[in-house]
Structure 1
Amino acid sequence: MISISKYVIPIVLLGLIGVGCTSTVSVTVMHPADIALPADLDSLIIVNRTQRIKTGSKVGNAIEGFFTGEPIAGDKNGVSKTLEHAINLLNNNERVTLVTTRIFEVPNINGTLKYEIPIRSEVIDSLAENHHADGVLALEYFDSDRVINGNRNTSESFVWTYWRLYYPNAQEIIDEFQLKTFGRGDYSYTSFIPTGYSSIVRAGTESADRYLKRIIPSWYVERRTYYTKGCEELKIARNQIKIGDWSKAKYTLEMGFQQKYSPKVLGRLAYNLAVVCEQLELLNEALDYAYKSAETGNNQAPRLILILKTRVDEQALIQDQLIRE
């Protein structure tokens, strides 16, 4: 009888050896927005339209919150933190200027669930003109629900938000979008109320993050695999990549790529050069090295080629979306 372990163990060991030869590094890359803003829309103010008309008593609302697990004033706190996060993002972007960190309150006079009716144009025009803004970003709706498993409230929440971007110069709404986002509570708290607050806040800030990435080219944190073993240059470059010294890593890897190594090692060097060149914004050179790595039979290269081709194709769109007048 043939022992299966005789063949399985070497395969497992080979897999472990392959894993041990690679590591990952966090990289920041810019991707385009889902929509393009008009070039002359380069300044914004923020409006909060989530204030609701109260239809029940405070006691009734408190009882409802007790049974649903929703913390008292959880949505109000979530709105505040969500808009604070939006302010931070808008103060650190390359496309629009936030005119003021003040949040303008525009109550929804049409009722609690009538956010589908836009803010009146005369209100938008007045706000924009008085504060010298080209556009108005409005959080129109915010509502949370705790996640309930059976009879047990968890420290998780869903938040529904509705965003609109008004463009008074052309008397139009550039974009309107509804989001459902998820947040998990901070388990360092012992009380269910603090975790309820934190889960709503996390879902709300995720909504702000996702919406602003929809309208503004934004930076994303991604992971890239790179090789750490195979030759001396790969080992040296490993430490340079770890600390983000991309220029030195490029020089080290280029020195190795000129040596008479085996195709396998040359493929690893070319692959790492592709990763490094991407971080130096040398995207075409990065793509060239990725193809060279693929020619050696490197099985990681095809995926990197797809990533880099996408990034190369995105560059013209990003530049168009960043134009400001």
Structure 2
Amino acid sequence: MISSDDEKEGGPFRLVLFLGLSLLVLVFAVAAATAIGDFNIGLKTVFLSVTNELGLTNVQIAPIEQSVVWNLRLSRALVAALAGAGLAMCGAILQALLRNALAEPFVLGVSAGASTGAVCVIVLGIGAGGLSLSLGAFAGAFAAFALVALLSNGATSGPNHTILAGVAASQLFNALTSYIVTTSGNAQQARDVMFWLLGSFGGVRWPDFQLLLLVVIFSLSICILMARSLDAFTFGDEDAAALGVPVARIRLVLFGLTALLTATIVSMVGAIGFVGLVVPHAARYVVGPLHLRLLPACAVVGAVFMVIADIVSRVIAVQQIVPIGVVTALVGVPFFAIILYRARP
């Protein structure tokens, strides 16, 4: 029997059960996302198409269905899952480092900075042939971090100052992105970029999945190793240092991982907000605040959330695809308001 204290912290049994159920839901959500589209494909056909490609079966399936399942929809669904997992992990990390329930890449301007860096490569052609889209987004994300650190006066400011600095940085980089797009791109290019900035999984393929899988696994592994340090950060920098945590080094590494994850995701699918805000709180409610349990839970729940959001973006409007950022905002903004209301003095 699990004690009340274990239940509050999310005991091992609850964690295993929660992760197991969440993975089952994720598998079903990915299958549904692969089946739903301009024309629906049966789940049995989806399953056989995947097993055919993996060499497990050799069932005759219409070539168009085989191609749509494997080359278009499955890769899209898996990238959506990884993007949700990565953004949720970023939110959990930033909330611990800054000790603020509202911290996440979108709110802190990291997504906006990554978007500006990516748009500089796309529209202005900066570094063409030498600077990839991901590297441009990575540079923009770190520029946003640097600006937030400067505006918040580094370690001498409180978490609320950092959030306010993030809002200012977000507005600045969003303005720069809009200026670049409207003054340097043609009308069609501007429309495509603005749709991408709101989030779109339409152009992702298997190479994107492979790169993002490596980044997410690498980042999750490092964060798991630093889980106890993240627990210490929730009590403040001074208490973390008293517990033997090398505060400056750990903070730099974790901020770097957050920038790497955010930049990689933004360079592929655009800026998607509120995932890093909503998911950590939901996962924390079930498994507790300890990051050794929280981070894997965030990854799985974030993956489920993003895949379902992608499905909704394709069915909410007839013969149209709504940008994924619109769907996540419809969920995230009310949740944001609830957190603000609960945080009132």
TM-score of the superposed pair, with normalisation by structure 1: 0.23
TM-score of the superposed pair, with normalisation by structure 2: 0.22
Which structure shows the bigger proportion of residues in strand conformation? 1
Higher relative contact order (CA 8 A, sep 6+): 2
Larger Rg: 1
